[in-house]
Structure 1
Amino acid sequence: MMTKIDTSFSVASKMSKAPHAVVIGAGLGGLASAMRLGARGYRVTVIDRLDVPGGRGSCLWRDGHRFDLGPTIVTVPQVFKELWAACGRDFHKEVEVTALDPFYEIRWPDGSTFSARQSIEAMKSEVSRLSPGDLAGYEKFLDDSEKRYWFGFEDLGRRSMHRLRDLITTLPKFIRLRADRSVYAHAARRVKDERLRMALSFHPLFIGGDPFNVTSMYILVSHLEKNFGVHYAQGGVAAIAQAMAGVIEDQGGLMRMETEVDEILIKGNRAHGVRLKSGEIVTADIVVSNADAGFTYETLMRNHDRHRWTRKKLHKARWSMGLFVWYFGTKGTAHKWKDVGHHTILNGPRYKGLINDIFLNGKLSDDMSLYVHRPSVTDPGVAPEGDDTFYVLSPVPHLGHKTPVDWSAEKDAYLAKMTKILDEQLLPGFAAHIGPSEVFTPETFRDRYLSPFGTGFSIEPRILQSAWFRPHNVSEEVAGLYLTGAGTHPGAGLPGVIASAEVLSQLVPDPEVVKT
């Protein structure tokens, strides 16, 4: 079971004279940044308003059921291995990850299915079974995906894009790779079957993007899956967060949980610490914000003039969708629904129409598509013996649309629709077995994570909101301030968030040259 971090930890005496870095937020980006800074020789304090580390990657326990609140898959475990190695440690000795096969199953209303696998031969077999005429196009799509992986992830995603010349020098490659084309448009050029087009294009939804508008660079996810596989961390992503917090404390860092930052303090156009909600001032040589980039600029820097990330610009930005997530346990069902695996995607009757309602129209539709997480088939510790634990997610509009959804009025009706779909299409009779239950709406994300407009993934990763156009890892508003996490470069998703800390570490000066 998740334990709270000991907030009474005393900073080791050997670190007492080292430059001080304050990290706002113990999400995975903040924890990864703190680890890298600690390894560099900084004295680090991490401050978070929740009682356990992990942010969206934390968990709740209810009657013996563990509800993993946010990310559920690990697609590039190598980024964690490299992070731990930078701290002189071995990730696989501290966190157990299990490779999944199949990765997930996609189901359509007509009864057809598609299972994503790591084996290229298994994937070709699935494509041939679903749409034999699209096999050649699928093979071309995989080649396209690999090219974009090497450029988009291993190159751009692991270095800073804060200078305009960084953008200018990459434009020719963007043009050659048709980054102006959407993920769906690229899939549609390669395959004809609409089901297969969906199977190859839905991945941006995992990082808050509209597949019909997000740049085709994100087809690189197909190569990530094929090359690295899809994994599950035993104990959930929360176990990774707990291990990260342990590394920080071993380095001499301090975890201050249940403590909220009210404002970033700025003097002479340089960040020099933070003021807490309690009124306490914590001085620092550098400040790292793992709070959402929008919240960082609009709220934590509310008393400082900003020339780029103004309130007007932030409110004009395209933001990721909101999430309606139902966490529930079921009693005595461990051997029921044997055809339901770890990850299942249930498609509604519409694809583009539903996406448009969510991202463009801001409308809560009657139909829905669902992602169902059943970790108990891989991790027995997630539920009492003989029971199951589920996480069911439906993308919905964020709260920033002209007429936002009133979830206090709509939650029960939407939950009833979700229950009906699950009963009819995946888990017949499950409602009679339900035990503990929690529901998160966009309003929960707004209040729990201080997420602008209750979004699930910060700023949407469209082409003009990515790379140089995204909030930079080193702030252009004030010296000594750095950003990490989903709202900054390279973007959302576990690999992107962990990579943001790697990029940040490249930008922060060596401790010996930092002046207090």
Structure 2
Amino acid sequence: MTRIDPTLATAARLTNAPHAVVIGAGLGGLASAMRLGAMGYRLSVFDKLDVPGGRGSAIWKDGHRFDLGPTIVTVPQVFRALWAACGRKFDDDIDLRSLDPFYEIRWPDGSHFSASGDTDRMVEEIRRLSPSDVDGYYKFLSDSAARYWFGFEDLGRRSLHRFRDLVAVLPTFARMRADRSVYAHAARRVKDERLRMALSFHPLFIGGDPFNVTSMYILVSHLEKEFGVHYAMGGVAEIARVMAEIIHSQGGIVRMGQEVDEILFKGDRASGVRLAGGEIVSADLVVSNADAGWTYSHLLRNRPRKRWTDSKLDRSRWSMGLFVWYFGTKGTRGTWRDVGHHTILNGPRYKGLVQDIFLNGKLSDDMSLYVHRPSATDPSAAPEGDDTFYVLSPVPHLGHDNGVDWTVERDRYRKKMLDVLEAQLLPGLSEHLGPEEILTPVDFKDRYNAPFGTGFSIEPRILQSAWFRPHNISEEAENLFLVGAGTHPGAGLPGVMSSAEVLEQLVPMPHEVPR
């Protein structure tokens, strides 16, 4: 049950209400600030970037908008609930467009699969590729629905920082075979290897190895089908911009270009932050939306830690890195008519490529690509007549032995990516290229303070999920809370937004805060 009263935000502006500092203006930090503001806290949000949104921010070049991170919205009700808690209507502020199909998957043999929310159409896609797998697909749908209700609507919407909470749900984990991987579960339901890929690749969008991440994450198939896949006009950066605007309307402050260097303490209680420039900001409450690994290894570097020590963080398994090539094309609107908003191009290997990325730390010669063409839906993403693209390839993070030297490989890998795109999706691409930008794991490390340059923080394996994941309420210090991809419930927009819901349940009401 919510403890929010939107009228309290007005009262906070007029009184000496408790002051909460939020570190990071990513989606989790902005959502947390909105909820705290609606509870009656005075708010200060600090972020090192020049625009809000964190990984969901954007950059502009020659009229092209490059959406840097998440490209779709699923489970839009988490946004609508957040806006409602602040006395607003999400759909008054954000133009959300349903995508149909959600995405198209293509394989090297020329076969393809279009995903949508229509069960009959999905069954026909299954039947077209492998008629004998239709019954197994129906079973998979039932499996994913059950895991959604347990894994997301139950566990994902409440704190799991107490060990007894974990013990209480272990029988359900056992019954649902949470020890089995996403791929293994898909393989039990369908036999066609293409369909096994189509039903198991989703963990890659939250930084997980489908061959090792717990099968609880097949819940993504249900939430896609049930609630759709959507695109926010103006990109996720537009959602972030409006979120910052709402915080300002509550009387809060969002200070961009201000990096937090350390969390400060009085005794065992977090009492504020020191900015990189030396300014000290006192707080009655500190919320970190910085990566959980960065929070503990850097922001708490001068504090003894009981659980999240440097050695434990080093032993943790981290999500993969990302190589993302953003580019504009000139005079191509109407060209490549068979290329929709989202396309997934599979390389010749699935398991072998994933093993190279996650286990071997090897930059493979082959690649699989996620291609985002926002201008197919949103004309504002590119100048008139042009297109904007975002092409992502999962790659090893920077923490592997004999890691990738991106000063050497950056341009080589871009050339390989261009060759794949021209051969399989966008013929003649090189003749139309306009402005471009590239982010490698090194850029993720520098831009987002991401440990090992990872795209999604700690990998969501079974022993790094729920209670085993960094908690939303820190056990390392009083008065310190964590939100975002590296905490419970995990990465992805629904998980990040839910972490702010969990925060609301954990923080004291303003009148309960010791002053």
TM-score, reference length from structure 2 = 0.98
Conservation of the 8 A alpha-carbon contact between 2:12 and 2:41: no
2:372, 2:143 → 1: CA distance?
29
Q: Which amino acid aligns with 1:134?
A: D
Q: Where does residue 299 of structure 1 map in the other structure?
A: 298
User: Is residue 2:79 matched to residue 1:80?
Assistant: yes
User: Is residue 2:33 matched to residue 1:34?
Assistant: yes
Q: Which amino acid aligns with 1:345?
A: I
Q: Which amino acid aligns with 1:429?
A: G
User: Is residue 2:468 matched to residue 1:469?
Assistant: yes
Equivalent residues in 2 for 1:246-325, closer than 5 Å: 246-325=245-324
Q: Where does residue 161 of structure 2 map in the other structure?
A: 162
User: Structure 1 residue 307: deviation in Å?
Assistant: 0.5
Conservation of the 8 A alpha-carbon contact between 2:13 and 2:42: no
1:447, 1:404 → 2: CA distance?
17
CA deviation string 1:459-510 (max 9, x = no partner): 0000000000000000000000000000000000000000000001100000
Structure 1 stretches of 4+ with a deviation exceeding 2 A read: 11-16
Q: Where does residue 385 of structure 1 map in the other structure?
A: 384
User: Structure 1 residue 15: deviation in Å?
Assistant: 4.2
1:467, 1:497 → 2: CA distance?
14
1:25, 1:236 → 2: CA distance?
19
1:246, 1:515 → 2: CA distance?
29
Equivalent residues in 2 for 1:393-412, closer than 5 Å: 393-412=392-411
1:164, 1:198 → 2: CA distance?
35
Gaps of 5+ in 2: 1-9
User: Structure 1 residue 114: deviation in Å?
Assistant: 0.1
User: Structure 1 residue 411: deviation in Å?
Assistant: 0.6
Q: Which amino acid aligns with 1:251?
A: Q
Q: Where does residue 183 of structure 2 map in the other structure?
A: 184
Q: Where does residue 70 of structure 1 map in the other structure?
A: 69
1:355, 1:262 → 2: CA distance?
35
User: Structure 1 residue 403: deviation in Å?
Assistant: 1.2
CA deviation string 1:98-149 (max 9, x = no partner): 0000000000000000000110001001000011100000000000000000
2:33, 2:190 → 1: CA distance?
44
Gaps of 5+ in 1: 1-10
User: Structure 1 residue 458: deviation in Å?
Assistant: 0.1
Q: Which amino acid aligns with 1:73?
A: I
Q: Where does residue 210 of structure 1 map in the other structure?
A: 209
1:116, 1:372 → 2: CA distance?
15
TM-score, reference length from structure 1 = 0.97
1:89, 1:410 → 2: CA distance?
47
Equivalent residues in 2 for 1:96-245, closer than 5 Å: 96-245=95-244
User: Structure 1 residue 278: deviation in Å?
Assistant: 1.0
Q: Where does residue 5 of structure 1 map in the other structure?
A: none
Q: Which amino acid aligns with 1:174?
A: F
Conservation of the 8 A alpha-carbon contact between 1:16 and 1:43: no
Question: SS where residue 115 of structure 1 aligns?
Answer: strand
Conservation of the 8 A alpha-carbon contact between 2:322 and 2:455: yes
Conservation of the 8 A alpha-carbon contact between 1:15 and 1:252: no
1:408, 1:488 → 2: CA distance?
31
Equivalent residues in 2 for 1:309-388, closer than 5 Å: 309-388=308-387
Q: Which amino acid aligns with 1:63?
A: D
Cα 1:129/1:264, change in 2 over 3 Å:
same
Conservation of the 8 A alpha-carbon contact between 2:269 and 2:479: yes
* Identical amino acids, percent of aligned pairs: 74
Conservation of the 8 A alpha-carbon contact between 1:20 and 1:44: yes
User: Is residue 2:60 matched to residue 1:61?
Assistant: yes
Worse-matched range after superposition: 125-134 or 14-23: 14-23
1:236, 1:178 → 2: CA distance?
37
1:102, 1:206 → 2: CA distance?
18
Q: Where does residue 486 of structure 1 map in the other structure?
A: 485
Cα 1:423/1:267, change in 2 over 3 Å:
same
CA deviation string 1:167-189 (max 9, x = no partner): 00000000000000000000000
User: Structure 1 residue 16: deviation in Å?
Assistant: 4.4
Conservation of the 8 A alpha-carbon contact between 1:15 and 1:43: no
Q: Which amino acid aligns with 1:152?
A: G
Q: Which amino acid aligns with 1:47?
A: F
Cα 1:16/1:409, change in 2 over 3 Å:
farther
Q: Which amino acid aligns with 1:467?
A: A
Q: Which amino acid aligns with 1:138?
A: Y
Conservation of the 8 A alpha-carbon contact between 1:345 and 1:370: yes
Question: SS where residue 155 of structure 1 aligns?
Answer: helix
Q: Which amino acid aligns with 1:498?
A: M
Q: Where does residue 6 of structure 2 map in the other structure?
A: none
Conservation of the 8 A alpha-carbon contact between 2:373 and 2:388: yes
Total equivalences in the alignment: 506
User: Is residue 2:432 matched to residue 1:424?
Assistant: no
Provide the aligned C-alpha RMSD in A.
0.9
Q: Which amino acid aligns with 1:361?
A: N
User: Structure 1 residue 14: deviation in Å?
Assistant: 3.1
Conservation of the 8 A alpha-carbon contact between 2:11 and 2:40: no
Question: SS where residue 199 of structure 2 aligns?
Answer: helix
